[in-house]
Amino acid sequence: MTLRLGDTVRVRMRKWADLPHWEFDAVYLGDDDHGTWLGFPRGTHMVRPGAEYVSPTDQLGLVPPVSAPDAERGWLVTFHGHGGLLSVYVDVVAPPTWSGPAVTAIDLDLDVVRELDGRVWVDDEDEFALHQVELDYPAEVIAAARASCDRLVALIGAGHPPYDDATKLPWFELLARWSRKAR
């Protein structure tokens, strides 16, 4: 399936054993060597069981390329636009899968965050430890999630593309142009 600028992509986050988590629609922006870029315009409505969130700013999503080895695909990135509380938020996931214009990923709890001041840290270590027992994560899933998290901390901390400011700027500009045109 070929996506075109502005096509709707359904983002489905699940928890281990196919439990429901966040779901929302995104705008397809394009692909490059880093993966598939999605736009979440200000006002994007996101829902999960027991919670809702409306994006207060434009955001970008990046899905790793399907051509990359699975060991390098255990993430989904959100880049927060101007006015956001964070710079980068990365969900550590099982490698995302595509089915038509929908991408699904199993959230493995760990999140790598870069604050606006550049500080990088890992969130939800406690949830990851708890779910290893409660949701019975297999040993290979635990090892893959930890390796992905460690790799992301190093790349984001070093400002390696696509986690640098320069890589995301053209995509934010494209989202802004598309949003003006879509109104």
Joined tokens for residue 182:
């879509």
Res. 17 pLDDT band, cuts 50 70 90: confident
Distance CA 73, CA 66 (A): 8
What pLDDT is attached to residue 181?
87
- The CA distance from 68 to 35, in Å, is 9
- Asked whether residue 21 is domain-assigned, the answer is yes
Q: What's 85's domain CATH number?
A: 2.40.380.10
Does some domain include residue 1?
Answer: no
Strand ranges for the chain from DSSP E: 8-15, 19-32, 35-40, 45-48, 51-54, 59-63, 75-80, 86-93, 97-99, 102-115, 120-123
Range of 31's domain? Answer: 8-182
Residue 166 pLDDT grade (very low, low, confident, very high; cuts 50, 70, 90): very high
Structure tokens at 126: 């406690």
**Whole-number pLDDT of residue 170:** 97
Split into its structural domains, the chain has a count of: 1
2 occurs within a structural domain:
no
87-129 pLDDT, tens digit per residue, is 999 999 999 999 999 999 999 999 999 999 999 999 999 999 9
Neighbouring C-alpha atoms within 13 Å toward the C-beta of 57: 14
Residue 182's pLDDT band, with cuts at 50, 70 and 90, is confident
Residue 154: inside a domain, yes or no? yes
